Amino acid sequence: MTTHALPVPGVPAAASPASKPAAAPAVHPFGARLLTGVLGVFVAAMMSGLNSRIGGLALADIRTAFGMGVDDGSWVNSLYAAFELAAMPFSAWFAVTFSFRRYHLAVVATFALLGILTPLAPNVAILLALRCLQGLFGGLLIPVLMAAALRFFPLPLRLYGLALYAMTATFAPNVATWLSGTWTDSLHVWQLLFWQTIPLALFALCAVAWGIPQDPVRLERFKQVDWMGLVTGFIGLVMLGIGLTQGERLDWFNSPLVCWLFGAGGGLLAIFLLCEWFHPMPFIKLQLLHRRNLGLGFAIFVGLLVVLLSGSLLPANYLGHAWHFRTPQLAVIGLEVGLPQFVLGPAVSWLLYKKWVDARHVFAGGLVLIALSCFAASRVTPSWMADQFVLAQALQAFGQPMAVIALLFLATSVVQPMEGPQVSGIVNALRVLGTLIGSALVGRLLAVREAMHANVLLDTAANVRRLAGALAPEQLRDVAQRVSHQAFVLAIGDSYLVLGVLALALVPFVLMLQYIAPPALPPTQH
């Protein structure tokens, strides 16, 4: 079986039979200055991830501040997620065109300005418009982090750069809970939900301006831009994102709006993919998916994103429903997974550099740990509180970096440096799409299983007519609340089981990925 080492920046594309001749990006010596620049890119990506997650965690406070109902308030997150998804495939192309440094500085500055203006919105319409723009510019920030890791980190440090990218999926969503609770419940300043971007943006601007070298601006690329793909892809992804986030509230395909969003959005997305396949300068190069570790690996990635919801969405839903926890009480759940990533992420990267380690086995081991976490949490009872989730969250803390970083290693090892921008667009679009699909599926699963358990509990507990005649109205309400609560707890347990089984079902496909040998480092760097 053929093995591939990690690509080295500056190696001509002809060195790999799977790649076409192309101009490689300029190679810059890696040192403290370039490292600082990449850390600025990382902080900007984390800023985007935190802003996306906090909007959902503090939605009740945002609705209260603007006098919005539950239905109207749902659009605050829905529009952000949809525009974030739509921006992902195009970000790296524009970064190459305008130069990485100038593009990143402009996007970060605009994103920070939108964060300052959002709490000052005079009405709901302007608030929603600002959230759309925030989602758009937030979606432009995350893909360039992977492109920076592939381009600027030398071979002995490449996996540590990818570990930074992995932390946007394993660290940011979990720490956002603590930050949200700090701003709204400890300091009682809900505007900080959006103004927290200011110090992060200032650091990112300074670090990138000082550390990232200036590349030539290549505006001539606009002569070959895929305008049809840009328009159809952007609008199609926005429509699909809105359909996925609003589907459960509008009862899915019983809603004409949801049907129209999925139908028209799916058609426009198909046109976009067709344009990208035949265009000489595409935003995302779909032909790369012929490589097994990209095509199969990205399919596994979508399933992994669904499984990762077991470490954040399910425990938060349970504690919020069962004990009416607000974000300060939920923070410990996120921190148990998020904080260890500063150590576990680099540790997994170090492990993958060892000659005796097979990245596929590390990936499979991470999935097994996540599955064990799900099975442990599936025993949830109405008396569980945050302390009872410690074991499950500890297994998540170890399993998530093992799975995510190993997948990035297996996928990027078959990619040349000049192909990094096109691959990062695919990865990040699938990342947001997979999270939205997973949230929709878990939400639907909870609703269906809760209704089923409620019916079973009522049928087996007592005859409804006899119970109604024997109990006072206050007692009936108490019975109804108990049945509803128990049904929800059972539905949470079922969801954990489903996600645990899905994690195990991905293991055989992981072992089917192409073996990638650890990169051969110079003797002085072993």
Among residues 338, 340, 351, the alpha carbon closest in space to that of 406 is found at 351
Distances (CA, A) of 518 to 158, 345, 349, 350, 413: 11, 17, 11, 11, 9
Give the span between the Cα atoms of 489 and 493, in whole angstroms: 6
The answer, yes or no, to whether residue 513 has pLDDT greater than 90, is yes
Rg (CA), the chain: 24
Tokens 């079986």, located at residue: 1
CATH 1.20.1250.20, applies to 285-519: yes
Residues 27, 170 contacting (CB under 8 angstroms): no
Token representation of residue 482? 């108990």
Distances (CA, A) of 173 to 55, 167, 422, 435: 11, 9, 25, 12
**Which pLDDT band holds residue 265 (cuts at 50, 70, 90)?**
very high
- Fold of domain 33-211: Growth Hormone; Chain: A; (1.20.1250)
pLDDT at position 342: 86
**Which pLDDT band holds residue 2 (cuts at 50, 70, 90)?**
very low
Q: Which has more pLDDT, 8 or 511?
A: 511
Mean pLDDT of 137-155: 86
Give the span between the Cα atoms of 237 and 272, in whole angstroms: 10
Amino acid at 99: S
**Model confidence, pTM:** 0.86
pLDDT at position 15: 38
Rounded to the nearest integer, the mean pLDDT of the chain is 85
pLDDT at position 134: 93
Among residues 293, 420, 419, 425, the alpha carbon closest in space to that of 359 is found at 293
Tokens 């509180």, located at residue: 385
Distances (CA, A) of 170 to 397, 410, 499: 8, 18, 17
Sign of CA dihedral 119, 317, 237, 243: negative
pLDDT at position 19: 39
Q: Which has more pLDDT, 101 or 29?
A: 101
Residue ranges per domain, the chain?
33-211, 225-280, 285-519
pLDDT in tens, 195-237: 999 999 999 999 999 999 988 999 999 988 899 999 999 999 9
Let me know if the fold of 33-211 is the same as that of 285-519: yes
The answer, yes or no, to whether residue 451 has pLDDT greater than 70, is yes
Give the span between the Cα atoms of 409 and 354, in whole angstroms: 13
Instruction: Give ∠ CA 341-343-345 in degrees, rounded to 5.
Output: 55
The answer, yes or no, to whether residue 523 has pLDDT greater than 70, is no
Q: Which has more pLDDT, 111 or 520?
A: 111
Q: Give CA 365 to chain center in angstroms.
A: 21
278: Cα within 13 Å, side-chain hemisphere: 7
Mean pLDDT of 457-471: 59
Residue 191 has a CB neighbour count (10 Å cut-off) of: 15
